[in-house]
Homo-oligomer: A and B are copies of this chain.
């Protein structure tokens, strides 16, 4: 960069905290979270591991930063949605909230490792908080009391950011793997087989699997259509909130 730099900025290097974080995100996207080590990140950037410590305090700080990058992406995606007109009816909080959350979800689907990291943070990203603030704003416009909003945010939990931890995905989420997907399928099949094997002990479970049939997935991860299930759960909560909001009215 040959441009004159702002008043107290770093002098010569093209390497900045921002570039480090960006690189970390790409690396995690490509090779999975497990592959994101200080040494491998440094290699990616063409420097030595210890040099990273001039831009991030330690690995926790790196992960904080990486979360912040993803959160910024979320905020950006949400920002692209068309704003509610000022004269929108009170009831429009619900589709609006739904849209924002699903927009956030598209971002997290691009970074499958991010949910894990998000959950492990103990400090929070300002971008996330700003996103939350917009969700709260929507509910307020819907006539929610702050008390109800507060409960609502807790009830949504991580779903507000677009993910919900599925127990039992026989593979998924762990590494990039980037394979043809037959590995996941294999694991899912193996799991199902194992369940069938003890059918007498798990009557309802087995019967359910037989009936619901986990066959035609295709869309996302192995077993079920996560997107459908995510929206099902989300709508369940939104409907419930709607009823509670109605009840609050005088």
Contacts and interface: CB of A to CB of B under 8 A. Distances in A.
B133 A154 contact: no
A191 B151 contact: no
Contacts of A140: 204
A123 B171 CA distance: 8
B158 A205 contact: no
A164 B171 contact: no
> Interface majority SS on A: helix, strand, loop or mixed?
helix
Nearest to A225: B154
Given A122-B171, A201-B130, A149 B208 contact: yes
A205 B136 contact: yes
B158 A167 contact: yes
A72 interface: no
B129 A202 contact: yes
A240 B236 CA distance: 6
Contact of A129 (B123, B129, B132, B205): B205
Contacts of A119: 119, 165, 167
A20 to B, nearest CB: 24
Given A122-B174, A157-B166, A158-B165, 7 more contacts: A123-B191, A130-B201, A133-B202, A146-B211, A146-B212, A149-B208, A236-B244
7 contacts: A119-B167, A124-B168, A126-B198, A133-B204, A155-B236, A158-B165, A237-B240
